[in-house]
Amino acid sequence: MNEQGGKMSERKYTESHEWALLKGDTATIGISDFAQKELGDIVYVELPEVGDHAQAGESLGMLESVKASSDFYSPLSGEIVEVNSELESQPELINQNAFEEGWIAKIKISDKSEMDSLMDEEEYEAHCQEEEH
């Protein structure tokens, strides 16, 4: 999947279907399009608090859909500097556009090298295909 203009995304992914997009030392994070499709219609989002410390691989909050509840895991470690408060009243934004309006939080990361352990778009697509079989 290419972004507009044919440029490959700089977005990185976890095996548990979270994404991170790094700009400077701050990463915007959310769940992938694959994950939102698997969850179905999201009806509630439990957001982390600004100022909380995120640890890579640990739960940051919860997503509730018509099918199930699921923890949302932080792809990176650092301090939560912003949350998408629009999701409190409009959780469906994740279903409508998981990569733009549906972002969940922004983290000032403490270790840029953690980005290296995440999958790029091509690796992530292969991972999703394996899960579907």
Which tens digit of pLDDT belongs to each residue from 112-131?
999 999 999 999 999 999 98
Residue 111, pLDDT score: 94
Of 92, 94, 42, 48, the closest CA to residue 63 belongs to 42
pLDDT at position 117: 95
User: What is the pLDDT, as a whole number, of residue 4?
Assistant: 40
> Tokens 């980005």 sit at which residue?
115
108-130: burial string, b at 16+ Cβ within 10 Å, e else? ebeeeebeeebbebeebeeebee
Q: Kindly report the pTM of this predicted structure.
A: 0.91
Q: Are 59 and 72 in contact (CB under 8 A)?
A: yes
Contact 12, 120 (CB under 8 A): yes
Chain centroid to Cα 18, Å, comes to 4
Tens of pLDDT, residues 43-54: 999 999 999 999
Q: Which residues pair with 42 in a beta bridge?
A: 65
Question: Which portions of the chain are predicted below pLDDT 50?
Answer: 1-8
Q: Which residues are within 8 A (CB) of 41 and not within 5 positions of it... i.e. 6 or more apart? A: 65, 66, 92, 95
Beta-carbon contacts of residue 37 (< 8 Å; ≥ 6 apart): none
- In this structure, how many other beta carbons lie within 10 angstroms of the beta carbon of residue 105? 24
Return the pLDDT at 11. 95
CATH numeric code, 11-111: 2.40.50.100
CA–CA dist 75, 104 (Å, integer)? 12
**Domain coordinates of the chain in residue numbers?**
11-111
**Residue 85 confidence (pLDDT):** 97
Helix (H) / strand (E) containing 94 = helix 93-96
> Looking at residue 9, what is its pLDDT?
63
